[in-house]
Amino acid sequence: MTELPSPNLRPGEPPARAARRLLLVHAHPDDESINNGATMARYTAEGARVTLVTCTLGELGEVIPPELRHLTGAALGEHRRRELAAAMAELGVDDFRLLGGAGRYGDSGMMGLPDNDDPACFWRADVDEAAASLVEVILEVRPQVLVTYDDDGGYGHPDHIQAHRVAMRAAELAEDAGWRIPKVYWNRVPRSVAEAAFARLREELPGLPFAKSAVVPDVPGVVDDDRVTAEIDGGPAYTAAKAAAMRAHATQVEVAPGERYFALSNELAQPLFPTEYYELVRGEPAGKRETDLFAGTGDAAEVA
């Protein structure tokens, strides 16, 4: 593949050197590790440039450890920013950014709460304005692959829905500005995989530090198997990196020993998936079930 200069390079700057470039757009710190930690670790280790854009600092998240429950609002957001940096170190990712800069968009809280009405929250952001900030990243990085949520945000959280809207709109605007992202994926979990994992969880629950189990509908992005078009197998090394990254988000995630299960603030156990799944929603698939998100993107180029 011929390396092309970035449209917004300053004089004397070199173009991005990595042949493969992956961009992920997430709502809060920890979403990236839970959904895509193994994928990020694998591609970073293989030499790809992995760029993460997080849209809020998750200032309204519920804190798990009692000793940290004094953290709220801006203080929690700053703490979660440090957790994000620690998680990215575990995954080997050194390019991670906050949309529009730290504090530009606030956490919107769960759907239907008064927090949704705060004019500073991400849910209330102008989509085109937020997308313009993401376009700047796209034109700099020139990713061949974009990963984000589906139009329900995986499970209906307003910040996840808005992240989807902003990411998809930015892909459109970036094409108008000169860079077409060849492949766009949404995070998915095949229903059969989720059901089998929860069956194992129910058997193993007595030996876990969690009293109760979540259920399949609690997992974001579960769909019928035929909707899934790609899978990335983390294997032992990248699954371990994913678990370590999730542990770094200590205010939000508790990972059980053995790296097979975890819980959020609701204290309900759920599986930690070593293989991560995707649905291709833009671009041409390279086979019925891809094992490389970059397959078929070797001719990516700027739009004339």
Return the pLDDT at 302.
54
Q: Evaluate whether residue 136 is within a structural domain.
A: yes
Q: Evaluate whether residue 39 is within a structural domain.
A: yes
Summarize the confidence of residues 250-277 as an average pLDDT: 97
Please tell me the least confidently modeled range out of 14-28, 33-47, 61-75, 175-189: 14-28
Task: Give this prediction's pTM.
Answer: 0.92
- For the chain, the farthest-separated pair of C-alpha atoms sits apart, in whole angstroms, at 61
47-69 pLDDT, tens digit each: 999 999 999 999 999 999 999 99
* Closest CA relative to residue 245, chosen from 44, 4, 14: 44
Q: How many CB atoms lie within 10 A of CB 69?
A: 12
* Closest CA relative to residue 167, chosen from 279, 84, 55: 55
302 by Cβ neighbours in 10 Å (0-12 / 13-18 / 19+) ranks as middle
Q: Evaluate whether residue 294 is within a structural domain.
A: no
In the annotated binding site for Zn(2+), the residues are 28, 31, 160
Q: What torsion, rounded to 10 degrees, do the Cα atoms 233, 238, 242, 248 define?
A: -170
* Closest CA relative to residue 34, chosen from 84, 101, 103: 84
Summarize the confidence of residues 146-169 as an average pLDDT: 98
In the annotated binding site, the residues are 28, 31, 160
Q: Evaluate whether residue 208 is within a structural domain.
A: no
Return the pLDDT at 18.
76
Q: Is the pLDDT of residue 4 over 50?
A: no
- Rounded to the nearest integer, the mean pLDDT of the chain is 93
Which residue, chain included where needed, has tokens 């899978």? 231
Tell me the C-alpha distance between 126 and 264, whole Å.
Answer: 30
Which residue, chain included where needed, has tokens 């092309």? 4
Domain ranges, residue 156 = 21-189+222-242+275-282
Q: Is the pLDDT of residue 13 over 80?
A: no
CA angle 27, 247, 42 (to 5 degrees): 75
Higher pLDDT: 193 or 12? It is: 193
Query: Which CATH number goes with the domain that contains 231?
Result: 3.40.50.10320
Q: Is the pLDDT of residue 71 over 60?
A: yes
DSSP-derived secondary structure letter, 204: H
Q: Evaluate whether residue 179 is within a structural domain.
A: yes
Q: What are phi and psi of 179, to 5 degrees?
A: -130, 120
Q: Evaluate whether residue 51 is within a structural domain.
A: yes
Tell me the C-alpha distance between 176 and 180, whole Å.
Answer: 8
Q: Evaluate whether residue 117 is within a structural domain.
A: yes
Q: Evaluate whether residue 137 is within a structural domain.
A: yes
132-151 pLDDT, tens digit each: 999 999 999 999 999 999 99
Q: Is the pLDDT of residue 12 over 90?
A: no
Report the number of distinct structural domains present in the chain: 1
Return the pLDDT at 304.
40
Percent of the chain with pLDDT over 90: 91
Residue 122 in contact with residue 108, Cβ under 8 Å? Answer: yes
